[in-house]
Structures are given as C-alpha cells and as structure tokens.
C-alpha cells in the first residue's frame, strides 16, 4: 500500500486495514498471502425509510415538570426516589453525531466542565474528522437524550440524568460502514485526542462503562454476519457493556440478524409501547441458536432531544435501546460492585423485568387473492422458535423495570 501511494488506516480492534482506494485494488489483494478476505467499505446512501421526528416545545403542556410516559412505564422515578440517577457512570454513544450544546445534554457532557469545552478524548468523527461534536441527522441527539437528558429546568427525557456521556460519529446522514463502526468501537476501548494515533495515543482511563448502539450494519453497508464480532467481543472482555437495538425488521421471526444485534456478546433490545406490548416493527429471534432480543423497552413514539435545543418524537428499537443503557447506568451507580460484571448485570435486569410470555403460535391465517401472488400473513405476536414462556424470542426476558432492578441492586426488598 505504501508503494502504491494509497491512503489506508489499520485497526487493532479487528485485524483489518481500511483501504481508501478504487475497486480495482480488490483483485490485487484478494489472493495475496496473509489476506483472509477483502470486503467493500461502502460510502453513503440514504436510509430508505427515515424516522419521523416531530418537533415540540420543551414547555409542552403535560410534559415539562412531569415524568414522561415512557419513563413512568419503566418506573424510572422509583429509582430516582432512592437517590440513584447514574452518578459516577460514563456512557458513550456512537451514532449520526450529537448536538452537545442541547440544554438537556450539555450539563452531562464529559467534555464540558461548566465553563469551557474540551472535546479531546470525548469526541471522535470517523467520517469527516471534525473537531467538535455535531449531528447531521438528529438520530444521535435523540437517542442520547433518552439515556441522560435533563435540562435542569423541569424537562427530563433521560433514564439516568446523573450519568456523564461522550460520543463518536459512526454514520454520515444515517449511513455507516465496517470501517466507521470499527473505528468508533476502537475509540471507545481507548479514547485519544483529536488528531491522535489510536495505536500510540489511546488511553483506557477515558473508556466508558457502557456504550449505546442504536444502529445496525446490514450487508448493504458492507458488513457480513461476523465482521464486527471481534470488536464487540473485545469491548465485553474489557468490561464495557454494549447495549444494541434489535432492529426494525419485524414482525417476522428470525429477523434480529443485523450485526451487532445478533451477537451473544451484546445485550439486544426489542421495542414495545408504554404498556409493554411488542410493536410490529421490532425484530425477533431466534438467531443462530440464540434467543434474541435479550430484553424489551419502550420504543413507540418516544419524546427526546433533537438538535437546536428542541424536543421531538421518534419510534424504533433505536429508542428502546437507550432505555436499557440508562438502566445499566443506574444499576452500576447504585451498586459499584456490578461495574464491568456484564453477566451479573444482564441477569439482574432479566430477574426484575416484567415477564411477557407469548401464547400465540405463528400460523398462516390468510392468503393474497389468486392472480397476484401468494403470501402468508402471520399473527403479529408469534411464539418465535416455539418458545412461549419467558424469556422468548419476542420480548426476551420481558419489559424492563428500573425501579425493581435498582431496589435489588441496593439490596432492598422488592
């Protein structure tokens, strides 16, 4: 590569080199000794379906000063009443970017000390190498608001408003690729300053406790099923918990297949309404013999922060995942002995989740009229994989209960 004068970037989180060149280089390296595989690293496309975001004022009647419906549904206020809001825990997010100046996010941003900003070790842009956090798509700002959002003036959108956060931009206009996703995971394992070398300047002292991942890398973005697995497993080995949205490809069974939601090393999250009922788009298992998702949380029309200082609603498992990220922050703040013990944390969340058994079995109920094409229509709540009890391949362990989980973490009776 040096001899060809082709720009490239090596990684250590995955045994991989990103080559910034033309496709003619693929054949040059595909059969070279020592090269296991050559995969494409696509640039940018538009999402086929954009998540709608409807702006509302932060003083919207019935919201400001009150517990939002999604937070009330998971009993977040019960945890706050015990004095647990996530203090001492650092959450990272990788997404379309983040409006760090949003009043619900700025006080909790690790790069802000109340007087001045320092984005070194707190922000990395895997696409354009910009020195200051920004969001070109709204998605990242919205998801982080569900984790930590609180403007200190009566508007609280976050499960763990006492936690700190920092971030990485792994998508451009809602699109990523294997190189960008791996770059952000590498940054989280050992953050480095702007313009720094991850091999020599990375510092694990700045690593987060938890990473929110409201994204997936389908094959159209260049990811094969196992492409990101080494990176994800490296974070878990380091005691950094990855919470991942299960995907929006439901209601069919076996649809939670998009990496990294399909990995055993992550805690994947399905989406429900505020009553704990699964929503149709939420992806379901089984996947490669695994029960997926691992748990479920609100993801149907959730209110959170959007760039520019406002608030908006969005739906998707992208919104469900941050509820669980916030819950982990609450638990690790309440019980420091749990920090880094991902197995025990997952088990606690599952024990305290509200069971959601599935009674129905997936059976064909109708056919499209002849002359068009034949298609089976399925019951929207199916016993995927034949599992009807809890956990199952629709709800996972059930619908999270932050209050019950924190009480158990504190050693209090439920």
What is the pLDDT averaged over residues 379-384? 72
pLDDT at residue 53 greater than cutoff 90: no
Edge-to-edge order in the sheet of strand 210-213: 123-125, 164-169, 90-95, 210-213, 241-245, 267-272, 295-298
pLDDT at residue 391 greater than cutoff 80: yes
pLDDT given for residue 366 in this prediction = 44
Distance CA 213, CA 257 (A): 15
Q: Which of 24-33, 56-65, 215-224, 228-237 has the highest mean pLDDT?
A: 228-237
Set 294, 318, 323, 333: catalytic member: 318
Set 95, 137, 249, 401: catalytic member: 95
pLDDT given for residue 271 in this prediction = 97
Instruction: Give the predicted TM-score (pTM) of the model.
Output: 0.93
What is the pLDDT averaged over residues 22-31? 84
% of the chain with per-residue pLDDT over 90: 79
- Give residue 414's pLDDT band: very low, low, confident or very high (50, 70, 90): low
pLDDT at residue 131 greater than cutoff 50: yes
Known active-site residue 323: no
pLDDT at residue 113 greater than cutoff 60: yes
* Cα end-to-end distance, the chain, whole Å: 61
> Using one digit for the tens of pLDDT, what is the confidence trace for 259-314?
999 999 999 999 999 999 999 999 999 999 999 999 999 999 999 999 999 999 99
Known active-site residue 283: no
pLDDT given for residue 202 in this prediction = 98
Mean pLDDT of all residues belonging to the chain:
90
pLDDT given for residue 412 in this prediction = 85
pLDDT at residue 353 greater than cutoff 90: yes
For residues 381 and 344, which has the higher predicted lDDT (pLDDT)?
Answer: 344
Set 75, 102, 124, 139: catalytic member: 139
CA distances from 375 to 112, 366, 369 (A): 54, 8, 9
| Residue 204 dihedral angles phi and psi, to the nearest 5° | -65, -15
Known active-site residue 27: no
């Amino acid at each position: 590569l040096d001899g060809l004068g082709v720009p490239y970037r090596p990684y250590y989180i995955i045994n991989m080199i990103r080559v910034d060149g033309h496709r003619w280089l693929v054949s040059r390296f595909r059969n070279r000794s020592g090269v296991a595989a050559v995969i494409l690293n696509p640039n940018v496309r538009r999402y086929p379906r954009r998540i709608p975001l409807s702006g509302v004022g932060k003083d919207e009647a019935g919201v400001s000063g009150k517990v939002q419906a999604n937070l009330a549904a998971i009993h977040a206020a019960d945890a706050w009443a015990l004095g647990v809001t996530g203090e001492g825990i650092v959450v990272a997010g990788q997404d379309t970017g983040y409006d760090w100046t949003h009043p619900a996010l700025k006080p909790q941003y690790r790069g802000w000390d109340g007087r001045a900003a320092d984005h070194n070790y707190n922000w990395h842009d895997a696409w354009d190498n910009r020195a200051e956090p920004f969001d070109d798509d709204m998605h990242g700002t919205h998801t982080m608001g569900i984790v930590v959002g609180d403007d200190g003036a009566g508007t609280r959108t976050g499960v763990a408003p006492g936690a700190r956060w920092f971030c990485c931009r792994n998508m451009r206009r809602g699109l990523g690729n294997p190189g960008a996703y791996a770059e952000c995971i590498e940054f989280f394992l050992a953050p480095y300053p702007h313009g720094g070398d991850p091999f020599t300047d990375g510092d694990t002292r700045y690593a987060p406790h938890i990473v929110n991942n409201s994204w997936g890398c389908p094959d159209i973005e260049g990811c094969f099923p196992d492409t990101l697995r080494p990176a994800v497993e490296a974070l878990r080995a380091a005691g950094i918990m990855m919470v991942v949205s299960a995907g929006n490809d439901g209601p069919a069974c076996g649809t939670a297949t998009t990496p990294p939601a399909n990995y055993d090393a992550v805690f994947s999250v399905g989406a429900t309404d505020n009553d704990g009922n699964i929503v149709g788009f939420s992806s379901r298992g089984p996947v490669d013999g695994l029960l997926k998702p691992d748990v479920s949380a609100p993801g149907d029309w959730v209110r959170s922060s959007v760039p520019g200082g406002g608030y908006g609603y969005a739906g998707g498992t992208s919104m469900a995942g941050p509820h669980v990220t916030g819950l982990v922050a609450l638990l690790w703040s309440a019980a420091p002995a749990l920090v880094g013990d991902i197995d025990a944390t997952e088990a606690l969340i599952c024990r305290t989740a509200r069971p959601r058994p599935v009674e129905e079995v997936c059976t064909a109920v109708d056919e499209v009229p002849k002359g068009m094409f034949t298609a089976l229509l399925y019951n929207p709540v199916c016993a995927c994989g034949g599992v009807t009890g809890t956990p199952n391949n629709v709800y996972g362990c059930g619908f999270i209960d932050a209050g019950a989980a924190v009480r158990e973490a504190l050693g209090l009776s439920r």
